[in-house]
């Protein structure tokens, strides 16, 4: 994959001259090569698991939202959706072989978690969504909706944070559509679907 920033371009390649793979991190999911043969360009949805098509649709919807969109997403976000988002993360935590100590806790602010197979049920999907919304928010508000806490960590102001959550919650509805009830999926995806008018559930 060639990346300067999202979305980049994803290629399927065949290694024709393998390099020494020494010094890689234990969790590295790449190989070094001196030369490769490019086979074909791949759709980016393959990066996000079985329901990648729906996740990519949500990511793409963050590209051009405006202030009106933010207001609509924020005002229609169900209060109970945050608990269901946290539930999704604890489902993911329960799949890890060595149970993390934080599994079962409140995960409403989580966008990535160390796992046996990726950092979430949709790999880096949640992190991409957050970074896309963060960057777009910075552009739209000139940074005025970006706050900094006592530890120097930047975060989104209330309304903008809620709008970001609408995208994240819809992604969780897709990621665990086979583990959540229809009512839970509806709650998680309500704000996003209300604005974009497309079902998040991919059969």
Is 116 part of any domain? yes
Is 1 part of any domain? no
Whether residues 25 and 83 share a domain: the answer is: no
% pLDDT > 70, the chain: 91
4 contacts: CB under 8 Å, gap ≥ 6: none
Please compute the mean of the pLDDT values over residues 23-36 and round it to a whole number: 73
CA distances from 72 to 18, 54, 136 (A): 51, 21, 16
Is 172 part of any domain? yes
114 versus 43: which is more confidently predicted?
43
What is the H or E stretch that residue 129 is in? helix 125-141
Q: Are 37 and 55 in contact (CB under 8 A)?
A: no
Using DSSP's 3-state secondary structure scheme, residue 161 falls into helix
* Confidence check: pLDDT of 2 > 50: no
Give the pLDDT confidence of 16-26 residue by residue, as tens digits.
988 877 766 66
Report pLDDT for 9.
85
Report pLDDT for 202.
57
Domain that holds residue 73: 47-196
Please compute the mean of the pLDDT values over residues 5-10 and round it to a whole number: 81
Whether residues 127 and 161 share a domain: the answer is: yes
CA–CA distance, 155 with 161 (Å, rounded to integer): 8
41 contacts: CB under 8 Å, gap ≥ 6: 9, 10, 11, 12
Whether residues 111 and 55 share a domain: the answer is: yes
Whether residues 118 and 137 share a domain: the answer is: yes
* Confidence (pTM): 0.88
Please compute the mean of the pLDDT values over residues 16-41 and round it to a whole number: 79
CA distances from 191 to 16, 75, 158, 181, 182 (A): 48, 8, 16, 17, 15
Give the pLDDT confidence of 56-91 residue by residue, as tens digits.
999 999 998 999 999 999 999 999 999 999 999 999
Give the pLDDT confidence of 126-156 residue by residue, as tens digits.
999 999 999 999 999 999 999 999 999 999 9
Report pLDDT for 109.
94
Whether residues 38 and 68 share a domain: the answer is: no
102 versus 56: which is more confidently predicted?
56
Q: Are 11 and 41 in contact (CB under 8 A)?
A: yes
Whether residues 156 and 71 share a domain: the answer is: yes
Whether residues 32 and 73 share a domain: the answer is: no
Structural domain count, the chain: 2
């Amino acid at each position: 994959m060639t990346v300067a920033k999202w979305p980049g371009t994803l290629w399927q390649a065949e290694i024709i001259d393998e390099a020494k793979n020494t010094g890689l991190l234990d969790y590295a999911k790449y190989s070094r090569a001196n030369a490769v043969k490019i086979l074909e360009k791949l759709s980016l949805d393959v990066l996000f698991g079985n329901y990648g098509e729906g996740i990519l649709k949500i990511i793409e919807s963050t590209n051009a939202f405006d202030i009106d969109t933010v207001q609509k997403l924020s005002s229609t976000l169900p209060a109970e959706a945050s608990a269901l988002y946290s539930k999704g993360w604890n489902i993911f935590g329960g799949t890890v072989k060595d149970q993390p100590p934080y599994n079962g806790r409140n995960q409403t602010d989580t966008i990535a978690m160390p796992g046996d197979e990726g950092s979430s049920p949709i790999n880096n999907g949640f992190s991409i969504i957050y970074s896309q919304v963060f960057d777009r928010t910075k552009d739209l508000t000139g940074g005025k909706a970006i706050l900094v806490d006592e530890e120097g960590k930047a975060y989104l102001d209330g309304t903008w944070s809620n709008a970001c959550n609408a995208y994240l919650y819809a992604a969780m509805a897709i990621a665990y559509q086979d583990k959540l009830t229809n009512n839970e999926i509806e709650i998680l995806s309500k704000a996003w679907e209300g604005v974009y008018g497309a079902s998040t559930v991919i059969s």
